[in-house]
Structure 1
Amino acid sequence: MRCSICEDAAVARSSRSRKLLCSSHFMEAFEDQVAETLKAGRMIEDGDRIAVALSGGKDSTVLLYVLKKILAGEAVELFAITIDEGIKGYREDTIGYARRISEDLCVELKMISFRDEFGSDLDRIAKGRDQAPCTFCGVLRKSALNRAARDLGATKLATGHNLDDEAQSVMMNYLKGDIERLFRLSPRRPRPGLVPRIKPLRHIAEKEVALYGILAGVYPEAPECPYAHSSLRFEIRRMMNGLERDHPGTKGSVLRGFEKILSSAEDRPAVTPLSCCRICGEPSVGDLCKACHLLGRSR
């Protein structure tokens, strides 16, 4: 098969344009799509100090690489934050890759650990608990990222969520009937105490993010998290992949439908106002934040 643009050997068919593309034109189209997402969502402004949540996995690695490339010469500052949750036999490799890619791109990296932030590693925190380890990991990592980004003066926190991730999150909240949490997925609802999050890869399929990483030479050979199979998201992911296989375009339709709901609810009152957690002082719904609640802190 030949590239629809230059007749070189094609490496993929773009899910966006449906054109067959060679490696160079695929990468160009990928970068253009990220740039368009940034512009359309007004995600970045001159003078921004952008923290990239860098796990060392493929999505966050590609995000850091492509932002570094796209924003070269722009009046913005880029740095990375890596959270070490403390998952034995897994995080050592991905953290090592996060360090290497940051050094290769000359991007400052700040390391934060669950042990320093919460007094213990995820392995110990989740041991013997009723909740799945992913529940603790998601809540505590989000809290640690926000606190670190805010303390380091970030004006935006960029995460590597791709189309698959976004569609899964929307579907999870649909199935739970959790409208409050669903509206928190909105990329443009700033809230006091929370560093605004941006998701430049949110319209790009996971497989295309992976291919870009391979072609750019930054794809990390990272193992799968040992806790991944215990989460509800894993089940939703499997379901969504099945629907996408049988009905191509399902993931994009789910996200576009959610965005239409958001646009029709622009005048909707803001989600529940935030207060400060009486234990740690972080933004919370009620007097105790989710992190402190999960950790069993009462005073």
Structure 2
Amino acid sequence: MKCQRCNKSAVVFQKYSNAHLCRVHFIDDVERKIKRDIRKLRMVEKNDRIAVALSGGKDSVALLYVLHKIFKNRPDIELLAITIDEGIKGYREHTLSHAVKLTGELGIPHTIKTFEEGFGTTLDELTKRKEHAACTLCGVLRKNLLNKAARELGADKLAIGHNLDDEAQTILMNYLRGDMDRLKRMLPGVIQPGLVMRIKPLRSIPEKEVALYGFLNDLPVSTDECPYAGEALRNEIREMVNNYEVKHPGTKYSLLGGFDVLAPALRPPDTKIVQCRLCGEPGSEAVCKTCRLLGRG
């Protein structure tokens, strides 16, 4: 098939837009959407120091690459990368090497934090206790370390590689649970004491397009799946959303768009942020979830 914009050979067909795009126009389309969201949601402002959560997977690698491409000529914008090594044997070593390679090529400062260093244990060791699901442990502890590292590095924003699929799944999961508190935490631009503001520049890019963007730009992308991924409830939601997307192209964009329409009614978040009495990190209760999961106190 031919690209509808220049008549060259197409590399992708976007069912949701009914568009065939060549390499150049596909890359332009991805970057246009990212720039639009950054501008519309004021994700990046003058003199921002942005920490990028860099796991070494396809999403975070593409995120760091595109942010560097967009802001490399802006002397007032500083990028740095943070990688969290959870201690997943046979998995994290590979993605970590991709992270190190990319930051070296782009000349971006790179900080690596480990569960061992932060919590005195690894995810592999924690899962042996069988007290909590691996994904629950990983999600909470990784967020804790990322926020702490970003704060210590003086970052104004923490960029994470959540793509359209991630956002649509999370929105639907919270709708089904009736979890308004978690929905409110997803709102763009939320400022809470002790928490570095999160931004999601890839929120409008489908997962497959993020992977294709990385491939077309020769990025060191890992497609390895975490060995604990099969335990996540999200897998059921992912399958549901993907099935609807096949039958009704644009479903994922509809979920995100609907949430954005509701966003003004959800402001401001009413979750009170307090300092954990055990570790001093921000949380919603006197003892934060990290300390509870680790059995502290």
- Separation of aligned partners in 1, 2:270 and 2:97: 38
CA deviations on 1:157-211 (whole Å, 9 max, x unpaired) are 0000000000111111112221111110111211010000000000111011111
Counterpart mapping for 1:224-243 below 5 A = 224-243=225-244
Q: Give the superposed CA RMSD.
A: 1.3
Preserved CA contact (<8 Å) 1:184 1:271: no
Partner Cα separation in structure 2 for residue 163 and residue 219 of structure 1: 21
Shift of 1:17: 4.6
- Match status 1:208 vs 2:196: no
Which letter does structure 1 place at the counterpart of 2:132? Q
- Distance, in Å, in 2 between the alignment partners of 1:237 and 1:189 is 26
User: What is the distance in 2 between the residues matched to 1:262 and 1:221?
Assistant: 34
SS at match of 1:110: strand
Alignment of 1:160-171 (within 5 A): 160-171=161-172
**CA shift digits 1:204-231 (9 cap, x unpaired):** 1101111100100015134110000001
1:1-299 equivalence runs, <5 A: 1-14=1-14, 17-74=17-74, 75-266=76-267, 269-298=268-297
Cα distance in structure 2, aligned partners of 1:113 and 1:19:
43
Q: Deviations over 1:238-266 (max 9, x none)?
A: 12111111221111111111111112334
Q: TM-score, normalised by structure 2?
A: 0.97
Are the equivalent residues in 2 in contact too, given 1:14–1:26 (CA < 8 A)? no
- Cα-to-partner distance string for 1:106-132 (whole Å, 9 max, x where unaligned): 111100000000110001012132321
Between 149-158 and 167-176, report the one with greater CA deviation. Answer: 167-176
Q: Retained in 1: the 8 A contact 2:49–2:157?
A: yes
Aligned counterparts of 1:265 and 1:81: Cα–Cα separation in 2: 30
- TM-score, reference length from structure 1: 0.96
Distance (Å, rounded) in 1 between the aligned partners of 2:29 and 2:237: 29
The percent identity for this pair of structures is: 52
Unpaired segments ≥5 residues, structure 2: none
Deviation of 1:237 after TM superposition, in Å, equals 1.0
Measure, in 2, the Cα distance between the counterparts of 1:211 and 1:283.
37
